[in-house]
Amino acid sequence: MNHPDKFGLGLRPTIHDVAHAARVSLATVDRVLNGRNGVRPATRERVLAAVKAVGYERDVAAANLSKRREYRIHFVLPAGPNSFMRGIEDEVASLCGPARQDRVQLSLQTVPPFDAPGLVTALHAIDPKRVDGLAVVATDAPIVREAIDGLVARGLPVVTLVSDVPSSRRGHFVGIDNVTAGRTAAGLLGRFCHDRPGDLAVVAGSGLVRDHVERRLGFEQVIRTEYRQLKVLPSIEGLDEPDLVDELLSDLLAQNPSIVGIYSLGAGTRGVSRALTRAGLARRPWTVVHELTPHARQELRSGVFDAVLHQDIGHEVRSAIRVLRARIDGRPFVPAQERIRIEVFLRDNIP
Amino acid sequence: MNHPDKFGLGLRPTIHDVAHAARVSLATVDRVLNGRNGVRPATRERVLAAVKAVGYERDVAAANLSKRREYRIHFVLPAGPNSFMRGIEDEVASLCGPARQDRVQLSLQTVPPFDAPGLVTALHAIDPKRVDGLAVVATDAPIVREAIDGLVARGLPVVTLVSDVPSSRRGHFVGIDNVTAGRTAAGLLGRFCHDRPGDLAVVAGSGLVRDHVERRLGFEQVIRTEYRQLKVLPSIEGLDEPDLVDELLSDLLAQNPSIVGIYSLGAGTRGVSRALTRAGLARRPWTVVHELTPHARQELRSGVFDAVLHQDIGHEVRSAIRVLRARIDGRPFVPAQERIRIEVFLRDNIP
DNA sequence: TTCATGCTGAGGTACGTTGATCAGGAAGCG
DNA sequence: CGCTTCCTGATCAACGTACCTCAGCATGAA
């Protein structure tokens, strides 16, 4: 066993060690650590120096035990049939049951989709005294940004989930890099179509949500610089509703016979496959969509979809909780651990 | 705020509640819960029934605080220049420093690569009294299986990392599904080569490690059933050494002009790109490799590699620790959370 | 009957932290 | 000088669990 304690360890220092090193009492250390008043600046400095010197880190478990802390975390997400959002709901629900997290209490509410004022109303109704952390699937609009900033200003840690509001003061965005997702789709479609110049259709949900905008952006970046033989058509906006998507895409396919590829970057992908199968084209366009729903899985198997880009809902919900817990405790989190991966599924690697 | 506590919560029951419900004292509950003797079977049953009735779950944080528990987790992995393994080492080291996990003490040792007897010697030297959990990157051989089973029999929780020994009694395998990885590579190469029949070269490290065998298997499954116009050549075994890979692959490319794709499923990918650039072919074969090392990243950018399959080292190490902690505590873990993702990188979505 | 043995209850201390209270000291003020 | 005000130390009771001791009771064997 040739590991002569290759990596350092030893027992964790406690507040006792800090108190001893700073030559003050436990009470004073506690006052400094918990930001209570009644400590002379000079003494405070001495304590903080001692903390660094002995390498003290608060034992969060012990602290929480003592405080009887509960992390009340609230989720706000769009209502509607979007199976991705319903998946988040299920995931949150599953974390409330018997396998309930350490001291985490989850609650959840839904708001109308693609509706900034409705979301703002809901955010204003949140009482920072009754909630310790907030995760929100946001519509990107100035009034939403203001509502989020207001909650942050009142001391409530907030993370955005799935779709970001980058200009806001939210503490973190939990979700995939949507520009990269669009680039990935483009990279795949570009390679799939490398022998077949033509047009690419883009099916979006709405230009109002950030994730859709960013995916389109990334997609176009790559196609226009790397795959000049392909042309990206203007987006269809199907509001994530299968029927509307079906209708709009069917029209487009009928009018434009040179479509060789389709990128569906929102929800409502049932509409895509319906339009495709009904069109009865001689040669099917290469198709890349988002989110591995049961339906998408089936279409992948049957060869209607060629690739599905996916984000793991469970990972996102757990990540949101971890990040909020850290922010509530005033701890840093490990960014690398919180990177949400874009998964690529082909018919050959469906889990 | 329309969440009338949609999901249940309430305070956690404690041993006090159990004692009260079972009409016994705290001491007896404690004896039952911690498997100490001196409790009549009838009483034990009453306590266990009460545990279920009140839905008691041990507060692991409080228990660990009381026990002053330390989780001593030991890693065993192959030595050598393999940058993937060195990455694991770095990751383990980084978790020892200031950001040290809650009560986790990590140690690590290396053994000669592709050397079953050497690994067995190392495993036999491990004292289950000085270590609480073991993560091992294993060579797949009967003697290794026996060594692992021996440790498990002596009460040491063991997980395999990256490469599995499925017939052993290890508690869990932390790593990607390597058959699926091979299938993914095949799905990509098959689509990339859809207009270009020919041969596919496979560059492996060794037939002795399970992960390489499984990747080859998955690869072949897909090509032979879905892409009949392509033929998979016998694997080259380059022992993950760039020079040997270069030599063997150069020979193969020279002898076989009909190679349209390459799947490098082990390490030593420097050898692949060297052989490819030196060969100076009119039309470059489509190339898929494993692990996004700095070198692979560069070759992806420059267009020598078309896709890189990747597993996140940090996630694997953290997952191994989480799973071992759960097993040490005798708790179940969340399998969905521990699924290691296969990431697909193209030049367009490099992080 | 006597005594050992097994089971149970009662109570304590500890783990590291929080959040109190209380007393005493120093400093500043009039 | 005495007084208030601010800082600091000392001490304690929790939090939920683990682990220990000791006393008491019942049971069965000798």
Q: Which nucleotides of C are covered by protein (CB under 7 A)?
A: 6-12, 14-21
Which of A295, A79, A315, A331 lies closest to A174, judged by CA? Answer: A315
Contact A343 B347 (CB under 8 A): no
pTM for the model: 0.89
Please tell me if residue A3 touches chain B, with a CB cutoff of 8 Å. yes
DSSP 3-state of A23: coil
Residue B31: its pLDDT value, please? 93
In the predicted model, what is the mean pLDDT of residues A323-350?
92
Residue A37: its pLDDT value, please? 84
Residue A3: its pLDDT value, please? 37
Please tell me if residue B193 touches chain A, with a CB cutoff of 8 Å. no
The CA distance from A329 to the nearest CA of chain B, in Å, is 15
Please tell me if residue A192 touches chain B, with a CB cutoff of 8 Å. yes
Residue A11 has pLDDT above 90, yes or no: no
Q: At what angle do helices A83-94 and A313-329 cross, to 10 degrees?
A: 60
Question: DSSP per residue over A313-338, as a string?
Answer: HHHHHHHHHHHHHHHHHT----GGGG
Confirm if B13 and B53 have CB atoms less than 8 A apart.
no
Confirm if A93 and A126 have CB atoms less than 8 A apart.
no
Q: How many CB atoms lie within 10 A of CB A102?
A: 15
Residue A186 has pLDDT above 80, yes or no: yes
Q: Is B66 buried (19+), middle (13-18) or exposed (0-12) by CB count in 10 A?
A: exposed
Residue B10: its pLDDT value, please? 54
Q: Which residue is nearest to nucleotide C13 (CA to C1')?
A: B66
**Contacts of residue A106 in chain B, CB cutoff 8 Å?**
7
Please tell me if residue B3 touches chain A, with a CB cutoff of 8 Å. yes
The β-bridge relationship of strands B286-290 and B172-174 is unpaired
Residue B98: its pLDDT value, please? 56
The distance from CA A177 to its chain's CA centroid, rounded to whole angstroms, is 9
Residues A123-154: pLDDT tens digits? 999 999 899 999 999 988 999 999 999 999 99
The distance from CA B32 to its chain's CA centroid, rounded to whole angstroms, is 36
DSSP 3-state of A310: strand
Q: In whole angstroms, what is the distance from residue A295 CA to residue A293 CA?
A: 5
In the predicted model, what is the mean pLDDT of residues A184-191?
95
Which of B266, B314, B260 lies closest to B290, judged by CA? Answer: B266
- Report all structural domains of chain B as residue ranges with CATH numbers, in order of start: 15-58 (1.10.260.40), 70-175+313-340 (3.40.50.2300), 178-310 (3.40.50.2300)
Residue B2: its pLDDT value, please? 35
Residue B151: its pLDDT value, please? 97
The CA distance from A244 to the nearest CA of chain B, in Å, is 30
Residue A87 has pLDDT above 80, yes or no: yes
Confirm if A348 and B226 have CB atoms less than 8 A apart.
yes
What are the tokens at B174?
């932390």
Residue B209: its pLDDT value, please? 84
Q: One digit per residue, pLDDT tens: chain B, 351 residues?
A: 333 333 334 578 899 999 999 999 999 999 999 988 888 988 999 999 999 999 999 998 999 999 988 899 999 999 988 888 999 999 999 887 655 677 888 999 999 988 999 999 999 999 999 999 999 999 889 999 999 999 999 999 999 999 999 999 999 999 999 999 999 999 999 999 988 899 999 999 988 888 999 999 999 999 999 999 999 999 999 988 999 999 999 999 999 999 999 999 999 899 999 999 988 877 889 999 999 999 999 999 999 999 999 999 999 999 999 999 999 988 889 898 999 999 999 999 998
pLDDT above 70: percentage of residues in chain A:
95
Name all protein residues with C-beta less than 7 A from any atom of nucleic acid chain D.
A 23-28, 31, 37-40, 42-44, 62, 65-66, 68; B 11-12, 14-16, 26-27, 30, 33-34, 56, 58-59, 62-63, 65-67
Q: Which residue is nearest to nucleotide C9 (CA to C1')?
A: B25
| Residue of chain B nearest A186, judged by CA positions | B348
**Rama region for A288: left / alpha / beta (φ>0; ψ in -120 to 50; rest):** beta
Please tell me if residue B315 touches chain A, with a CB cutoff of 8 Å. yes
Confirm if B192 and B186 have CB atoms less than 8 A apart.
no
Residue A189 has pLDDT above 60, yes or no: yes
The C-alpha angle with vertex B227 and arms to B300 and A265, in degrees rounded to 5, equals: 55
Contact A337 B349 (CB under 8 A): no
- List A residues 116-145 in contact with B (Cβ-Cβ < 8 A): 122, 125-127, 130
Confirm if A272 and A249 have CB atoms less than 8 A apart.
yes
Please tell me if residue A109 touches chain B, with a CB cutoff of 8 Å. yes
Q: In whole angstroms, what is the distance from residue A315 CA to residue A341 CA?
A: 9
Q: pLDDT-derived band of residue A42, with 50, 70 and 90 as boundaries?
A: confident
Residue B313: its pLDDT value, please? 94
Which residue of B68, B183, B348 to mutate against A (max A Cβ within 10 Å)? B348
Nearest to A341 among B60, B102, B341 (CB): B341
Confirm if A197 and A231 have CB atoms less than 8 A apart.
no
Please tell me if residue B351 touches chain A, with a CB cutoff of 8 Å. yes
CB within 8 A of A315, min separation 6: which ones? A340, A341, B337
- List A residues 44-103 in contact with B (Cβ-Cβ < 8 A): 55, 57, 59-62, 64-65, 74, 92-93, 96-100, 102
DSSP 3-state of B262: strand
Which of B206, B225, B204, B211 lies closest to B342, judged by CA? Answer: B211
